[in-house]
Chain A
Amino acid sequence: MPEPGREIMDRVGALIDETGCERTQLLEVLHRVQAEFQHIPRAAAEAIEQRMNVPVADTYGLVTFYDLLTEHPVGRSVLRICEDVPCCLHGSDQMAEEAAKRLGPEGEPSADGGVSWTRCACLGLCDKAPAALWREQPLAPLKVHDIEGIGDSHA
């Protein structure tokens, strides 16, 4: 049986085959790795070093810079709750409290790995405040029962 790191490296190699191995594709590659593994595993950074000639340190430089990339696993589905001014005026802090109550600590995946939630910066949906993204699509205005529904399906 191949070791898990090997499997990840092979899979990331296949992703790089799709995008091309030039440095300019790095963010796109990392988006795809994040979508598949819910974080950027060390083995992925090593595969990127081998195939794209990008040092592991550089990959983590991007991972720590861009909010949509994470060093540690998040849920397969992520709820992002905007915390900026227009949403704040429309109760986004209470939504975040609700999420903490029903979905657990911010950034930590549920027991089944299915879902996690996080606060985020303005989503450009301020006309529908309080705004959120659920599985990368707008969920706005976010309501308590949306959060309940997400919590119930990952209890």
Chain B
Amino acid sequence: MTAMHEAVLLRRRGAKAGDLKSYIGSGGLAALKKARAIGPEETVRILTDSGLVGRGGAAFPAGRKWESVRTAKDPIRYVVLNTDESEPGTFKDRVMIESDPFMVLEGLLIACYAVSATRAYIYVRGEYRHVAELLAKSLRELQQAGHLEAVGPNGAALEVEIRRGGGAYICGEETALFRSIEGYRGEPMAKPPFPTVAGLFRKPTVVNNVETLANVPDIIAFGAKALRSRGTERSPGTKLFSVSGSVDRPDTYEVPFGTRLSDLLELAGGGKDLQAVLMGGAAGTFVFPKDFDLSLSYEGVAERHTTLGSGAVIAFDRETNLWQVAERLGRFFAHESCGQCVPCRVGTRRQHEMLQALAEGHGRGDERGLLTRLSQVMTDASICGLGQTAATAVRSLLEAESAGLLAN
């Protein structure tokens, strides 16, 4: 086996996960201490130099985000930890928190310190009660041991609020998330303005994914080179992948960027007789064995016209009917569309109806052409990422079918 499973973010997974004493004993909280010694400007500079990009799907450079909020004019700023994780096939943020809640929280505290945040919000999807409870307990321990002191602006103690979501995938989209915290339906807003300018309560806001912030303590403690010592030039570091479906060992795997997809699949006990995988979750694309040698890096997936998305990898054996899989994806989007804009509200419904017909094998015959046109309209005319990507997987399946890649 050539693949290397490299536990960096997940190195504390196991027996002592979530124990503050052993976290500190193994170097935890040293990065927060260092950040406070070097100051916000230098802290953000290290992060920018590291080349860390956000792991929530949009792959935006983390340092740039922090810098715009750090230098914002408005003295009221927020940091939001996005723990909404609802992309089908994605569970790596849950595993990250279960394995090492303190590393995630230390990353959050460093972010707050670096941008002088007035308050932090942790938005946890409503179905992750067990995760929210673990975060609350860990946060309480940090607070009782005095580690939130002087992390807030002007030497004040940092205030952190945990908010639970209501069961809506769209609330993972950053502007919908803000609306949800504010007490409204989670309907996305058009961008710009971007969150760094007018985010939560219209104040400059950093929103980061769980895995993004989990990367921060090592980068600050060991320098930008620490991240760059793994992965590729353009995708430094390691990446968490949620592998599920037709594999023997579904789990979260941490591998350096640049690892081959086939090696990741082998780690999870799959690979030999797979028909395809769905990369990036419901909003991703199907990838077939001819491309299993692709490099799991931002540049590597772009080369093969696919995406890392949220890091979901769902594997399908040769018995699986991929049109039935597509029907399930279609159902998901039709259910999760917030309904605010017509191409997405109507488009996801129509798409699901046609996918149902194809999955059940009684289509009228014109579905494939209509799906292609519909996907164009939804991609072009939807307000947010949900509508824009709701047809991505379907389109990749149509192309694969034309190329004769489907097993049945």
Contacts and interface: CB of A to CB of B under 8 A. Distances in A.
Contacts of A65: 166, 168, 185-186, 338
A133 B94 CA distance: 15
Given A31-B126, A122-B90, A85 B166 contact: no
Nearest to A86: B244
Nearest to A124: B91
Contact of B85 (A23, A68, A124, A137): A124
Interface residues of B, number: 52
A67 B329 CA distance: 18
B89 A85 contact: yes
Given A27-B166, A66-B166, A85-B245, A127 B91 contact: yes
A68 B169 CA distance: 12
Interface in B197-249: 242-246
A85 B127 contact: no
A67 B170 CA distance: 12
A126 B127 contact: no
A85 B314 contact: yes
A84 B90 contact: no
A52 B193 CA distance: 29
A121 interface: yes
Return the 4 tightest CB-CB contacts between A and B, nearest first.
Answer: A66-B166, A67-B167, A26-B183, A68-B167
Given A68-B167, A136-B129, A138-B130, A85 B328 contact: yes
Contacts, number: 135
A2 interface: no
Interface string B124-153: 011111100000000000000000000000
A88 interface: yes
7 contacts: A26-B184, A28-B163, A30-B166, A58-B184, A89-B245, A126-B250, A127-B91
Given A27-B180, A84-B88, A124 B125 contact: yes
Majority secondary structure of chain B interface residues (helix, strand, loop or mixed): mixed
Nearest to B121: A24
A89 B320 contact: yes
Interface string B168-190: 11000000000011111110000
A85 B88 contact: yes
Contact of B246 (A26, A61, A68, A89): A89
B285 interface: no
A120 B127 contact: yes
Interface of B: 85-91, 93-95, 125-130, 163-169, 180-186, 242-246, 250-252, 278, 282, 314, 316, 320, 324-325, 328-329, 331-332, 335-336, 338
Nearest to B185: A65
Contact of A67 (B90, B94, B168): B168
B320 to A, nearest CB: 7
Nearest to A58: B184
A128 B86 CA distance: 15
Contact of A122 (B88, B316, B320): B88
B185 A61 contact: yes
Interface string A47-68: 0000000100010011001111
A86 B185 contact: no
Contact of A126 (B89, B325, B328, B335): B89
Interface in A109-124: 120-124
A138 B167 CA distance: 15
A137 B128 CA distance: 8
Contact of A25 (B93, B94, B183): B183
Contacts of A24: 181-183
B125 A84 contact: no
Nearest to A127: B250
B242 A122 contact: no
Interface in A34-82: 54, 58, 61-62, 65-69, 80
A77 to B, nearest CB: 14
A96 interface: no
A136 B328 CA distance: 24
Contacts of B165: 27, 66
A88 B328 contact: yes
A52 B94 CA distance: 34
A64 B66 CA distance: 35
Contacts of B164: 27-28, 31
A12 B301 CA distance: 51
Nearest to A85: B328
Interface in A82-106: 83-86, 88-89
B167 to A, nearest CB: 3
Contacts of B181: 24
A125 interface: yes
A81 to B, nearest CB: 12
A129 interface: yes
Contacts of B246: 89
Contact of B126 (A68, A88, A126): A68
Contacts of A126: 88-91, 242, 244, 250, 314
A103 B325 CA distance: 27
